[in-house]
Each structure stands twice: as C-alpha cells, then as structure tokens.
Amino acid sequence: MTLPGVLLLDAAGPEAALLATAAAARGHEVHAATAAANAAYGPELKGLLAGRVVTDFARLDRALDEITAYARRRGVGAVLTVNEYLTELAALVSAELGVPGNEPGRARAARDKAAMAEAFAAAGVHVPRTLVVQNEVDGDQVLEDWRVGFPCVVKPVGGAGSAGVTVVGSLAEAVAAVEEARAVASVPRHAGDPAVLVQAYVAGTEYSVESVTQDGVTVHLAITRKHVTGGTARTETGHSLPVRLAPDVESAVHRQAEPAIRAVGIRHGASHTEVVVGADSRCTVIEIGARLGAGHIGVLVQHALGIDVWSGLLDVALGRPAALSPTARGFATVRFIVSPHAGRLVSVSGLPEPGPGLPLVRWRAAIGAPVRPPRANGHRLGAFVVTGADEAEVEERAAALARRIRLRVEPDDRSHVSSASTSAIAP
Ligand SMILES: Nc1ncnc2c1ncn2[C@@H]1O[C@H](COP(=O)(O)OP(=O)(O)O)[C@@H](O)[C@H]1O
Ligand SMILES: [Mg+2]
C-alpha cells in the first residue's frame, strides 16, 4: 500500500528538516511548498524531498490553489509547517484537501495579533488591555489612552520573533516605536498589514506552554521558562524546560492556555502559548502560535522528556494516534549567542563541541558579517543545547559554556578596533 505523501509549507530551518527526516524514515514521500525555485535548503534536506511546488506565500488565494493542486496530484495526505507565517495557509490547505488541520475560519487569529486579542477576549482568556492603531492619525490618541498607560508594548499585528516589538516608557518614545513596528509590518510576508498593537505591559516571569492537540483534545508537553533581554527590545536569549511550577500556578497557566488554543481554532497540531505569571500568580496570555515553539524547543522536549515530537506531529497530521507521553524525566536548555556590540564579526572562539549532554550546537553568522546587539530573534548568531538529569546542573553547565565563548567585533567605521573580546551571551 502506498503511504500518503507529507507536505511541508516551507522546509527551511532545522525543525522542518527534523520533520522531513521523521516522515522519510517512515517511508512517506516528502514534498515542500517553497517561495522560490532555488530556495536554499541545508544539507539535512538534500535527497529527502520527492518534489516541491513553488508559490508566492504572500498571495494567499493563489498559494492555496497552487499548493492544493500540487498536493492532489502527488497524493499528499498530511500538511505541516513550522513556519509561524504559514500557519493560516496550512489550515486552509488542510481543509481544502480534507486532511487533519486547524479550523480555517479561525486560523487567521493565530497570526494576526489584533484578531487574536479579539478571539481571546471573546473566549474569556486573560489578556493585557490591547488597542489597535490602524493608521498614523489615531496613534497618539491611542497612546494617550489612559486604559493602556505606560509602560506599554508596541508591536506589529503580523510580526514574529520579537521583530518591531518595543517596550515603551513614555509618549515621547512611542512615535519611534510605532514607526519601527510599521516598518516591520511593511515586509511582504506580513501581507503589508500596517496595523500596530498597543498593549499594556505585564510585569512578571515569562513562560511558554508547549502543547499538541489532536481531534480537539490537548496534551501539554511542557511549560518552558523563557530567557529574554530586558530594556526596550525583548529578544529571546534562551529556553529551559520542563519548568516545575507550584501546582496551583501550573493549573492557572493551563487554564489560560486551553481556551486560548481553542479560541484560535487549533484542532490538530502543535501550539506555543506565551504567558506571563505575575507576582500575584495571575497568568496573562501574551500570544499564541499554531506551531511548535521555535528556537529548538522541539529538541529540548525530545531530550528532556523523551518525546519524539516530530513523529508525534506527523501522526497528528496523518490522523493517527500520536504517542506524546514522556519517557524520560530530564531537563534541557538552549542558549542563544548574541553580539554585545554593533560592527563586523572578526572571530569567534570557545564554541562548545556537540557531545554527551550537548546535542546541538548551531552557528549561523559568517566571519566578516555585520552583527549587532539583538533587536529581534533574527539577530541571534548561534545556539547550543545542554541536557541532563538535573535542572541546576544543566543550567550551570550552560552558563559555564556560555562564558567561554568569545566574539571579536570590530566597529564598522574601522577607526578603532575593539581590543577586548567580549563574552557573547546576553544575561
Ligand atoms: N504585553 C506585554 N507585556 C510584557 N511583555 C511583553 C508584552 N508583549 C510582548 N512582550 C515582550 O515582547 C516579546 C515579544 O512580543 P510578542 O508579543 O511575543 O511578539 P512576537 O510575535 O514577535 O514574539 C515577548 O516575549 C515579551 O518578552
Ligand atoms: Mg512571542
């Protein structure tokens, strides 16, 4: 019997490669929808793809037609994506093909933070007070609105990876923040939506909930502690899991995540719900993604909990029972390597080597490339994952390894060379 084909919407990046590898290992033909015929996929994908359909993801209707026509021709029976920007399209394609996927009518709400805020409010999810700036004229009015106040957070409605997100302390800082959010919004993958969200700032500790839903039933794989930069820009500098919260706090987090997952129509697939837990243990949902958490969270789940999350997601997409129970009780953390200065990267040394308890080391910045302190997750230069049985030992080892990494960054104007090399990891 021929197995159904598996289609990935965008196959770039390590998570897509792991999904493709899991599918191919089980004998499925793996296909990719890509934005360009020459999309540069890494060596992991070489030889794995049975075929691809080239489309323009920014033109949703056309992409839907082209992808579904291709999928029917090639016997595709499962559609997956790990690309935040393509989760709505994945829901539309799955519905059109009649294969397991999320509710197409609600999928936009997992991508568009204005629609998300509305869907959450309607579902009774606890969210920060959120206002939408549709155009330049009403910007000041919204920012002066007493209901949001300062500090507040300005972000593009269609953004991801902290791009264009600014924590704003006063009206004076707000104009530049709105402009920055608009600049991010103008890139085609956000479909040019210029709307900007102004949201009350929620103080507390940031976590994410990694969940998988099958036939509308949700399993929480882990709660993850998020390491972020402080200040006006909030870049993710690490993730650690599983976090063991006090039982009442953990259930408060799950009680918020579950209606949030339903509100954006997640029925078959992964989700990543970002929350803040305040000093009073109150849990507020910041946002949700209808996909596996990025930043190697799947690798952390695999190593800490012994869950083959890629195989599980494949089963969900194929409509087969997925094995998502933990088979290990360990701990894992990822640390991202970032530049402390703006300039050109001259050298990097002291990167850890993969080995026992260190399953992943990734470096993506070329020597000579421009680098900068991170303004968004896309400015991170590399990452490594540490795993082990004991949380404190894992965190200590990760911190020690981070201290050994040295970046030399030369100022761009070359008027003076920074003589001291600097530790590469944000706190
Ligand atoms: N309302 C908020 N209160 C406090 N911090 C926030 C708020 N909104 C966003 N942040 C911070 O900014 C980061 C990025 O914002 P987020 O809404 O998650 O956008 P993105 O889709 O780019 O990840 C969050 O991880 C968090 O650190
Ligand atoms: Mg986020």
Q: What is the CATH number of the domain that holds 406?
A: 3.30.470.20
Residues 229 and 278 in one domain: yes
Beta carbon of 201 within 6 Å of any ligand 1 atom: yes
- CB 128 near ligand 1, within 6 Å: yes
Boundary of a domain, candidates 142, 169, 200: 200
pLDDT band of 420, cuts 50, 70, 90: very low
Q: Is residue 153 situated within a structural domain?
A: yes
Question: Are 229 and 325 in a shared domain?
Answer: yes
Average pLDDT, the chain: 91
Q: How far is 114 from 366, CA to CA, in rounded Å? A: 37
Instruction: Look up residue 88 and give its amino acid.
Output: E
206 and 323 both lie in a single domain: yes
pLDDT band for position 146 (cuts 50, 70, 90): low
Distance CA 209, CA 257 (A): 7
Residue 27 lies inside a defined structural domain of this protein? yes
In a domain, 122, yes or no: no
| 154 beta partners | 166, 198
Residue 325: inside a domain: yes
Do 207 and 277 reside in the same domain of the chain?
yes
Is residue 295 in contact with ligand 1, taking CB distance under 6 Å?
no
The residue among 311, 329, 347 that closes a domain is: 329
Q: Both 226 and 268 in a single domain? A: yes
Which residue from 148, 153, 235, 276 has its CB within 8 A of the most atoms of ligand 1, so it is best to mutate?
153
- Closest atom of ligand 1 to CA, residue 289: 21
Average confidence (pLDDT) over 284-291: 98
The pLDDT score that the predictor gives to residue 191 is: 56
Ligand 1 proximity of 9 Cβ (cutoff 6 Å): no
**Pair 418, 315 in one domain:** no
Pairwise CA distance, residues 185 & 96, whole Å: 28
Domain that holds residue 191: 129-200
> Residue 171's pLDDT is what?
84
Whether 290 shows a pLDDT value over 90: the answer reads yes
Q: Quote the percentage of the chain above a pLDDT of 70.
A: 91
Nearest to 285 by CA among 162, 127, 122, 132: 127
Domain assignment present for residue 118? The answer is no
Domain count within the chain: 4
Q: Domain containing 189 — which CATH number?
A: 3.30.1490.20
Q: What is the pLDDT of residue 189?
A: 55
Query: 410 C-alpha vs ligand 2 centroid, how far in Å?
Result: 31
Mean pLDDT for the stretch of residues 219-236: 94
Mean pLDDT, rounded, for 348-353: 97
Residue bearing the bigger pLDDT, 153 or 424: 153
- Region 98-103: mean pLDDT is 98
pLDDT at 113: 94
Q: Give the relative orientation of helices 113-122 and 247-263 as an angle to the nearest 10 degrees.
A: 110
For the Cβ of 202 lying below 6 angstroms from any atom of ligand 1, the answer is: yes
| Nearest to 124, CA basis, from 282, 35, 227, 257 | 257
The better pLDDT of the pair 226, 142 is held by: 226
pLDDT of residue 45: 79
234 pocket-lining for ligand 1 (C-beta < 6 Å): yes
Q: What is the pLDDT of residue 190?
A: 52
Q: Is the pLDDT reported for residue 137 higher than 60?
A: no
Helix (H) or strand (E) holding 332: strand 331-337
Residues 187 and 156 sit within 8 Å (Cβ to Cβ)? no
Atom of ligand 1 nearest to the CA of 201: 3
In a domain, 124, yes or no: no
Ligand 1 site-directed mutation target among 155, 190, 198, 275, most atoms within 8 Å of CB = 155
374-411, pLDDT tens digit by residue? Answer: 988 889 999 999 999 999 999 999 999 999 999 999 99
CA of 76 to the centre of ligand 2 (A): 31
Residues 245 and 324 both lie in one domain:
yes
Mean pLDDT over 331-337 rounds to 98
- Ligand 1 atom with the smallest distance to the CA of 162 is 22
Ligand 1 pocket check for 111: Cβ under 6 Å: no
Q: Is the pLDDT of residue 17 over 60?
A: yes
Answer whether 228 contacts ligand 1 (Cβ < 6 A): yes
Rounded to an integer, the average pLDDT of 221-247 is: 95
Assigned domain for 107 exists: no
Ligand 1 binding pocket includes 150 (Cβ within 6 Å): no
Task: Output the CA 346–ligand 2 centroid distance in Å.
Answer: 31
- Find the CATH number of the domain harbouring 31: 3.40.50.20
Specify whether the CB–CB gap between 248 and 223 falls below 8 A: no
* Per-residue pLDDT, 425: 46
pLDDT-wise least confident of 116-125, 192-201, 286-295: 192-201
Residue 158: the pLDDT is: 87
Q: What is the pLDDT of residues 299-315, one digit of tens each?
A: 999 999 999 999 999 99
Fill in the DSSP letter of residue 26: T
**What is the rounded CA–CA span in Å between residue 43 and residue 24?**
15
Same domain membership, residue 208 and residue 176: no
* pLDDT at 322 > cutoff 60: yes
Instruction: Return the ∠ at Cα 74 (arms to 73 and 78), rounded to 5°.
Output: 115
Q: Helix or strand or coil: residue 120?
A: helix
- Domain boundary, last residue among 140, 165, 200: 200
Report the pLDDT averaged over residues 240-255.
97
Q: Is residue 343 located within the same domain as residue 389?
A: yes
